[in-house]
Amino acid sequence: MNRLLLAILVLAFSFSKANAQVQFKGGSGALTNFLSENLIYPEYSRQNCISGTVKVSFNVDESGKLSDVKIYKGTGVDLDDEAIRVIKLTSGKWMVPPGHNPAENIVLPVTFKPESERCRTTDVQSIRQAINAYRARQSLVNVVTNYYQNKYLGKVDTTKEKLITSIKDQLGFDDEYVHNILEQANAKFKQGDSEGACADWHFIKNIGSNLADALLYKNCH
**Tens of pLDDT, residue by residue, the chain (221 residues):** 444 334 444 444 444 444 457 899 999 899 999 998 999 999 999 999 999 999 999 999 999 999 999 999 999 999 999 999 999 999 999 999 988 899 999 999 888 988 778 888 889 999 999 999 998 899 999 999 999 999 999 998 989 999 999 999 999 999 999 999 999 999 999 999 999 999 999 999 999 999 999 999 999 98
Alpha-carbon gap, residue 200 to 52, rounded angstroms: 22
Residue 55 host element (H or E): strand 52-60
Q: HSE (CB half, 13 Å, CA atoms) of 47? A: 15
Q: Are the CB atoms for 4 and 103 separated by under 8 Å?
A: no
**Would you list the domain boundaries of the chain?**
3-118, 124-214
**Predicted local confidence at residue 110, as pLDDT:** 87
Q: What is the DSSP string of 148-188?
A: HHHHHTT-S-GGGHHHHHHHHHHHT-SHHHHHHHHHHHHHH
Look at residues 93, 113, 94 and name the one whose alpha carbon lies nearest to residue 15.
Answer: 94
Q: At the top level of CATH, which class does the domain 3-118 belong to?
A: alpha beta
**Predicted local confidence at residue 208, as pLDDT:** 97
